[in-house]
Amino acid sequence: MTNEQLRIGLIGTGRIGKVHAANIAALPETTLTWVIDPYIAGAEAIAAERGARATADPAEAFASGDLDAVVIASPTSTHADLIERAIAAGIPVLCEKPIDLDIARVDKLAPVVEGSGVPFAVGFNRRFDRDFSLARERLIAGEVGDLEQLAIISRDPAPPTVENLRTTGGMFRDQTIHDFDMARYFAPDIVEVFATGSQLFDDGAKQTSDFDTAMVTMRTSTGVQISITNSRHSSIGYDQRIEIFGGEGMLEVGNAGTSLVSYSNATAVKTTTPYQHFFLERYAEAYLEELREFSRLVRGEESRCSTFADGRAALLLADAAELSAREGRVVRVDLDR
């Protein structure tokens, strides 16, 4: 691979697709050459804005000869098929999470991807957040001693639509899956999952038999305890925090605010602005860094990208949490099998 710009195709022109399109255009090492979506008007709009070509048919772009890689940001139900087709064409893939909602389909796809030698990455963008990455580096450096407890809090500002809930696989496979990957980022050898879920406020969750509130407790093979706290609403804004506790200290990553300015007077001290509203603001730089790392992977350079195995492990944990919450029991997992 030369140092010329990587020619990237984008599949999917929804909210996250637009983020990827902007980032591909923003990085000096990448250029957007194809935009692919059955909703051709959406593809044509982004293509016209970015100087790319538009098509409703992935096969046209895959056979064009001017694609070095593809970013899959289409609905989850399309991921596995598109991955398989891109890999068969020898085109490196960055796919949004999850790989698929069915672990059997993921397991069937695993040898195809892993045996191909074609670069592949899963879009767990939080690994590329500057502060989460720094906290992990400091943990590895031994600043807090051996890890004993990891606490992850992740609350969205508002519930998704009922239509979204019907297609995304439920809270654990849609929202919590990011937190499962974060848990493995700090403590990969998880062997035990216990989860509880509630329907406290969201009619959509009740209509789809999903949860709007959940807590997960996990344990590693060495006894490290991990907790994940989720909610589908948060009046304080996008709530994203991590606490890393060890025998010699603690590391904390707090929420990102909209301003560093605080105000104090006779009735309040250090009143500050709200937290950032949602993931598009909170993880804007992480998405950009993810694309940089994917570019390195495609060029054959050292990269921090999440692997197919990472995507599979996160889905296994999501499935275990779903089973645990439904049956009220601890579920053992083997993420390496």
Write out pLDDT tens, residues 40-50.
999 999 999 99
User: Residue 172's CB: how many other CB atoms inside 10 A?
Assistant: 29
Percent residues over pLDDT 70 in the chain: 99
Nearest to 306 by CA among 152, 135, 122, 156: 122
Q: What is the mean pLDDT of residues 302-322?
A: 98
Evaluate if residue 3 carries a pLDDT over 80.
no
23-37 residue pLDDT tens? 999 999 999 999 999
Evaluate if residue 282 carries a pLDDT over 90.
no
Evaluate if residue 337 carries a pLDDT over 80.
no
Q: What is the mean pLDDT of residues 278-295?
A: 93
Residue with tokens 């937190």: 179
Q: What is the mean pLDDT of residues 166-195?
A: 97
Evaluate if residue 224 carries a pLDDT over 90.
yes
Evaluate if residue 195 carries a pLDDT over 70.
yes
Nearest to 1 by CA among 303, 293, 296, 308: 296
Tokens of 226: 């991990």
Locate CATH 3.30.360.10 in the chain: 127-277+307-332
Residue 27: partners with Cβ closer than 8 Å, 6 or more residues away? 288, 291, 292, 295
106-141 residue pLDDT tens? 999 999 999 999 999 999 999 999 999 999 999 999
57-82 residue pLDDT tens? 999 999 999 999 999 999 999 999 99
Distance from C-alpha of 113 to C-alpha of 65, rounded to nearest angstrom: 21
Residue 161 near residue 134 (C-beta atoms within 8 A): no
Q: What number does CATH give the domain 6-118?
A: 3.40.50.720
* Mean pLDDT (the chain, rounded): 95
Question: At residue 334, what is the residue type?
Answer: D
For residue 280, the model assigns a pLDDT of 81
Locate CATH 3.40.50.720 in the chain: 6-118
Q: What is the mean pLDDT of residues 295-307?
A: 97
For residue 305, the model assigns a pLDDT of 97
The structure's pTM equals 0.94
Nearest to 286 by CA among 307, 260, 256, 315: 256
Is the bond preceding 159 in cis, omega lying within 30 degrees of 0? no
Q: What number does CATH give the domain 127-277+307-332?
A: 3.30.360.10
For residue 2, the model assigns a pLDDT of 53
315-331 residue pLDDT tens? 999 999 999 999 999 99
For residue 271, the model assigns a pLDDT of 81
Evaluate if residue 269 carries a pLDDT over 70.
yes
